[in-house]
Amino acid sequence: MRKLLLLATVILVGLVFIARLFYLQVYSSSDYNIFEDTAIRKVYNYPKRGYVYDRNGKLLVANQPSYDVMVIPREVIPLDSVELEEFCELLKITEEEYHKKLAKATSYSPRLPSPFVPQLSKIDYAVLQEKMRKFEGFYVQKRSLRSYQTNIGANVLGDLGEVNRKTIKSEPYYVLGDLIGKQGVEKTYEDVLRGVKGIKFIQKDRFNKNIGPFKEGKLDTLPQPGKDITLTIDSELQAYGELLMKHKRGGIVAIDPSSGEILAMVTGPSYNPNLLVGRERNKNFSRLFLDKINKPTFDRGLQAQYPPGSPFKVINALIGLQEEIVDVDDKFTCRMGYYYGSRKLTGCHQHRSPADMNLGIAQSCNAYFVNVYRRIIDKYDDAGKGMNIWANHARSFGLGNFLNNDLSVGQPGRIPDGDYYDRAYGDNRWGSTYIVSNAIGQGEVETTPIQLANMVAAIGNRGYYYTPHIIKSIEGDSIPKKYKTPKHTTIEKRHFEPVVQGMYDVYNKGTAQYLQVPGIEICGKTGTAENFIKIDSVKTQLTDHSIFVAFAPKDKPKIAIAVFVENGYWGSRFAGKMASLMIEKHLKGTITRNDLEQWILTHSLENEYKKPYSGEPFKINGETTLQVIDNYAINSEENNAIKNESDQQNLKN
């Protein structure tokens, strides 16, 4: 009986093995995954990443060789003290770091390769390669790192960093240790630039020794290089903008209105993109990211949301004309501000009164635009309806949304509507007098510099714009159709000409008359955004922000620009000068207004940023405080800061 039981057991086990083998070979052959076969070693051959050029064909980003020390934890033979000391010395790490790295690799996978010490230089690799045979379980894998041929445009170009496990899980293409675009065009155009990895499958024996190509290399693939891309950026204009922004905080965005191509995208302060290459990347990135005073990794041209100030008045002028509540010849009295009964809701500076639309724009009259704004809202019986119509017009200029561009970061800004104020004040418990701040670009309106540049491009085009974008061409491919399709505003073309003339007169006889550039017809608008915070009901006034928007030439413009300088006093003091210089640089290639250039280069705002609470305007712990007329009176125009003759003379200089 025992013999029969033993025999039956042997036969049963044999049948189970036979059945399992039959199943694996016949029914499950299609499920075989070579990447999960531990008897096959996978060696990746990384492709050349695509080069990046500026609009004029100047090389901005190339590649340089790099070498990663890889480890397969279960194949590592423990090192004695002498070997460990030698290996750590070769890799320039401590013994403690060695054990931590090995433990991390083991936790990822004991049988799959992972980076142990990435991004060795040529010199370090040359010393190491002769002795690698002594260290079982380790091998060197070659790849390319970025080589930046410039020290500008870090926010535009972006950088590469190691892929995280979340991305690996969602995108099987990547494995631990791969590099991926983290910011800028490196992130946006990662799929285009990266190419396709090649791979070699190597058969191992039962002792984990390589015995040759798997299936004679028939499954091996060659790497496919990434595609080169050309950006819309003019690297010379970008460099000039970064020079002007030195020792200041803010953003400059310049767009070609005829195409939506971004000519320059400056943020200040910035940093050298070469800091984020190689083994020092993580340390340098941490240092930049943790700099809470200067925030060099924060792109102020795309992410900073500011009150637009007086440049927003031209939108109210256009909406007023479209809604037929005002004519270009209508005049409004200005008594150094706007009064509601006996209450002064806004201040204003000294200018001729009454003011029509042209004078209102050229001299930036607050009272004129409050009257226009109130007429727009009060045209309808319900303030919420009037507010919604106003908001729809404003949003048609690309305000209050992300613009659907190809940039890696951004903010939507804010164009409030009726629902916004119903939530703030209660249904039907507010009217136009509560929100007059919106008339002059204060209040709850918030915009980013790129939105302002796009807004003024639409005005220069007399009613349409192209989605701002940074890609000009892709090797062997075309750019998306959406960048070639114009978007039209809700304002009829016939209404733009008087507003354009008003902006032209800002330079001829208005608030920017000292910023003219010989031979160039520039249309612009100065602006100042009040900068204060309120803590425990105590209002703290900080130095105002300087804003300027412009396009040139007047007809068929080739550049539209927005400049925002934090704590820059008033529009024509910093932002206006910088805008005129950028326009001349783009259109002429040289600078004739050397007086403006010298002034900007020799004036720093660093002391302003040392004052308390010099963060983003109207923000306390990320929350926006509603600016109700009962709490304060607004006087947002730049010339209000020019209080005496000496200040007037400084403006001329």
Given a cut of 60, whether residue 29 has pLDDT beyond it is no
Which residues, other chains included, contact 617 with Cβ-Cβ below 8 Å and sequence gap of 6+?
306, 307, 529, 530, 531, 532, 533, 545
Section 110-137 average pLDDT: 84
User: How confident is the model at residue 119, as a pLDDT?
Assistant: 82
What is the pTM for the complete model shown?
0.83
Section 397-423 average pLDDT: 93
User: How confident is the model at residue 239, as a pLDDT?
Assistant: 96
Given a cut of 80, whether residue 208 has pLDDT beyond it is no
- Pick the residue with more confidence: 475 or 205? 475
CB contact at 8 A, 367 and 335:
yes
Sign of torsion over alpha carbons 323, 327, 328, 331: negative
**Residue 234: C-alpha distances to residues 241, 286, 368, 494, 585 (Å):** 11, 29, 39, 33, 11
Question: Which two three-digit tokens encode residue 300?
Answer: 């102020």
CB contact at 8 A, 572 and 652:
no
CB contact at 8 A, 165 and 176:
yes
Section 269-274 average pLDDT: 92
Reduced to 3 states (helix: H, G, I; strand: E, B; else coil), residue 310 is: helix
- Pick the residue with more confidence: 114 or 5? 114
User: Measured between alpha carbons, how far is 72 from 111 in angstroms, rounded to an integer?
Assistant: 6
Lowest mean pLDDT among 152-166, 214-228, 354-368: 214-228
Distance of CA 6 to the CA centre of its chain: 74
Which residues, other chains included, contact 255 with Cβ-Cβ below 8 Å and sequence gap of 6+?
261, 262, 263, 453, 454, 457, 468, 559, 560, 561
Please give the helix or strand (H or E) that residue 369 lies within, else none: helix 366-378
Q: Which domains does the chain have, with CATH numbers?
A: 44-231 (3.90.1310.10), 235-289+300-652 (3.40.710.10)
Q: What is the pLDDT of residues 81-111, one digit of tens each?
A: 888 988 998 888 899 999 999 998 888 888 8
Pick from 76, 134, 72, 138: nearest CA to 105: 72
Given a cut of 70, whether residue 273 has pLDDT beyond it is yes
Given a cut of 60, whether residue 237 has pLDDT beyond it is yes
- Pick the residue with more confidence: 628 or 519? 519
Lowest mean pLDDT among 159-163, 557-561, 642-646: 642-646
What's the CA angle centered on 34, arms 29 and 36, to 5 degrees? Answer: 105
Given a cut of 50, whether residue 653 has pLDDT beyond it is no
Given a cut of 50, whether residue 637 has pLDDT beyond it is no
Q: What is the pLDDT of residues 149-184, one digit of tens each?
A: 999 999 999 999 989 889 988 898 898 888 999 999
Given a cut of 80, whether residue 21 has pLDDT beyond it is no
Question: Which two three-digit tokens encode residue 172?
Answer: 């099987």
Given a cut of 90, whether residue 257 has pLDDT beyond it is yes
Cis omega (within 30 of 0) on the bond before 223? Answer: no
Given a cut of 60, whether residue 40 has pLDDT beyond it is yes
* pLDDT more than 90, % of the chain: 51
